[in-house]
């Protein structure tokens, strides 16, 4: 039961951070993670869904949202013109470059998890 309670606390900390993140940057965490997944180039929707661990349906909603905000755009595949790829616009690149998830604005539980993830023990 302690594990379940700890997971609840993590979920609450993420929810609290998502509210801060949306207020500061005007995008949701899923939108921010989508932008991060496109930092190294274009991807098709299926690959984005895998990277974000979202269903195709949820990925479509997030893609539609960031497209409407002019943060990403669609392009057709070079080899297969039926394939649609998504890439960052200059606005999307600026948005992701300006995101600074300062630790002081992060709930303490998340701060600890991020620090442990960034500094794994051997």
- CB atoms < 10 A from the CB of 59, how many? 22
> For the chain, what are the domain ranges?
2-118
Rounded Cα distance, 86 and 21, in Å: 23
Kindly report each contact of residues 76-84 with a partner whose C-beta sits within 8 Å and lies 24 or more positions away, as own/partner.
77/44, 83/44, 84/44, 84/45
| pLDDT, tens only, 23-75 | 989 999 999 999 999 999 999 999 999 999 999 999 999 999 999 999 999 99
Confidence of residue 112 (pLDDT cuts 50, 70, 90): confident
Q: How many CA atoms, within 13 angstroms, populate the side-chain half-sphere of residue 88?
A: 19
Rounded Cα distance, 119 and 121, in Å: 6
pTM of the model: 0.81
Q: What is the CATH number of domain 2-118?
A: 1.10.10.10
């Amino acid at each position: 039961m302690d594990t379940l309670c700890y997971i609840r606390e993590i979920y609450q900390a993420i929810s609290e951070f998502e509210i801060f993140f949306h207020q500061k940057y005007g995008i949701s965490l899923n939108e921010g993670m989508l932008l991060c997944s496109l930092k190294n180039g274009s991807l098709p929707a299926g690959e984005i869904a895998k990277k974000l661990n979202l269903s195709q349906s949820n990925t479509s909603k997030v893609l539609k949202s960031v497209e409407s905000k002019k943060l990403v755009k669609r392009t057709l595949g070079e080899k297969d013109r039926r394939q649609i790829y998504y890439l960052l616009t200059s606005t999307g690149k600026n948005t992701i470059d300006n995101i600074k998830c300062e630790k002081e604005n992060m709930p303490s539980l998340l701060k600890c998890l991020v620090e442990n993830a960034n500094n794994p023990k051997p």
